[in-house]
Chain A
Amino acid sequence: MNIVVLVKYVPDAQFDRHLTGDPATVDRSESILSELDEYAIESALQLAEERGGPKAGNRVIALTMGPAAAATAVKKALQIGATEGLHVNDDALAGSDATGTSLVLAAAIRSLGDVDLVLTGMASTDGETSLVPAQLAERLGLPQLTFVASLELDGTTVRARRDGDTHSDTLEAELPALVSVTDQINEPRYPNFKGIIAAKKKSVATVTLADLGIQPTEVGTAGAWTAVRTAEARPPRSQGTIINDEGDAGIRLVDFLAAQNLL
């Protein structure tokens, strides 16, 4: 089977992240593979392995779009176990919003021919909008099974569980389908030495917008359907009063809440 996994190159969420330029966009130095994409890669690898892995013709294609550096995300996916990569690399992509991103990714997925499953994380850790998976399903005409915490494939039927605040849904659809997974679905594996060596021999195809038949004006900041007008760093929170519990801290906490009109 052919599985496409979307991977994104994002600033490391473990450190302070910044907006830069005018209009403001995310500063992408110090970037890594989005942590939430690792769960999608793991799900893809498990499904491929259950079906005999690459030897049985199962492909796991890591797809990204972005500047040259975004290839790092694909490389990491190959080290973890994806079989090949596809990188849409075009300067005109800078500043794309979800609509532009889903336009490009949909075209790239179509260019791959027969795709059984598109797998994504639940959100990117930079944009955090969760718009792209649903927009891809809309553009590709695929059933969406999104924010799922379990996933199984029975022949050509996909089954998954989506947990909400008030209820939990069991979902079912026929392939081809689009699935986004949460961080509850599995424990992603790390690349091992063998994987890192093997990745050097795996192929990464690079395509441009022209190859996909997309005009540069449809994407990037110019083609975005949304625009950031102003951006302001949130003033850092300052430390308030810190006390040691001398046996009456609960009472003093209530005094504080009362003074703040929070009772």
Chain B
Amino acid sequence: MPTVLVFIDHPGQALHKGQLELLTLARTIGEPVAAFNGDLTDAVRTTLGDYGVGTLYRPSADLDGALVAPKAAFVAAAARAADPAAVLLPNTFEGKEIAARTGIKLDSGVITDAIGVSADLTVTKSVLAGSYTVQAQVGRGTPIVTVKANAVTEAPADAAAVPEVTTVDVGDFGPAARITHRAEKAASGRPALTEARVVVAGGRGTGGDFSPIEDLADALGGAVGASRAATDAGWIEHSAQVGQTGQTVSPQLYVSAGISGAIQQKAGMQTAKVIVAVNNDADSPVFEIADFGIVGDLAEVLPQAAAEIRRRKG
């Protein structure tokens, strides 16, 4: 059976949902092996085994002092060692960049933004801001694919493996920018925006008060998003922006509150399974794509809904 190499970066105490999804997807193509960077705790090693990983490649050198280049050198070295049928990475900014450079190193094609990868390595992705779905294939070298969150539902393997660790020589990674300082952001306790099954997003109509948005997001166990107008106004951090120049999300449920739904915003969320819109302007374009729309004041509708959800959940 061919192997599929998955890049796992700094899981911390437990593998993230996105990492578990990549391992689950890898098993539908071949035998998962991992290029692993960061501390390997016993719990993480056990989970890797539960997900069928029999071989773990670890780097010979520190990869965290410089941007992208060291990790690309490591993934390429691990791929040379594993000779996999494909390499899978998360579809983050960094994941795409590592894939980009690994592709040049391995003389291999790269496909980003995958929402599915079939056993014959046909990749499904949305293009032009979700207006087309294409099937694409890599025609040269080892397919390198960055996969979006929620492509599959994570599940452990039928039979657990015991991961064997192999160290691979990273070698000279070439010129790279030094990371001279890293400021960690405070954890919100909410799921990551791109991974969340539910996103509640606010825009200009919040008037700067995101508490009704956060309240409903928490009642639904979802992430908080925002329109560009809201992030440009400084009401919420830029990383919450959903849209053409922000994050693209495909959750099960997207609640748009106080957002008109111009093309810039639509580009980031129109592949959501169900869209709910709350806006006090009945002419907002967002209602054209909403499965359920409420013309009303978000500051009244959202808290009422949040309270009702909590009441029903007991």
Q: Which residues of A contact B (CB under 8 A)?
A: 13-19, 24, 26, 36, 97-99, 102, 122, 125-126, 128-135, 137-139, 141-147, 149, 158, 160, 162-173, 177, 182-184, 224-234, 237, 239-245, 248-254, 256-258, 260, 262-263
Q: Are A144 and B301 in contact (CB under 8 A)?
A: no
- B129-156 to A contact mask, C-beta < 8 Å, 1/0: 1111111111111000000000000000
29 A-B pairs with C-beta separation under 8 A: A13-B129, A18-B128, A128-B127, A130-B96, A131-B112, A133-B97, A165-B239, A167-B183, A170-B181, A171-B178, A224-B109, A227-B137, A227-B139, A228-B134, A229-B136, A232-B133, A234-B126, A234-B131, A239-B290, A242-B294, A242-B295, A244-B294, A245-B301, A253-B294, A253-B301, A254-B312, A256-B292, A257-B276, A260-B253
Is B270 in contact with chain A by the CB < 8 A criterion?
A: yes
B130 touches A263 (CB 8 A): no
Chain B residues in 8 Å Cβ range of A133? 97, 100
A240 engages B128 (CB within 8 Å):
no
Q: Does B80 contact A (CB under 8 A)?
A: no
Q: Which of B20-28, B47-55, B169-177 contacts A (4 or more CB under 8 A)?
A: B169-177
Q: Can you name the residue of chain A whose Cβ is closest to the Cβ of B102?
A: A138
A83 to chain B, nearest CB (A): 26
Residues of B within 8 A of A (CB): 66-69, 72, 92-94, 96-101, 103-105, 108-113, 122, 126-141, 174-185, 187, 192-194, 198, 220, 238-239, 244-245, 252-253, 263-264, 267, 270-271, 274-276, 278, 282, 287-297, 300-309, 312-313
Chain A residue with Cβ nearest B275: A237
Chain B residues with CB below 8 A from A257, complex form: 220, 253, 276, 309
CA–CA, A191 to B22, complex, Å?
46
Known A162-B67, A234-B133: A134·B101 in contact at CB below 8 Å: yes
User: If A237-B289, A241-B293 touch, does A131 touch B133 (CB 8 Å cutoff)?
Assistant: no
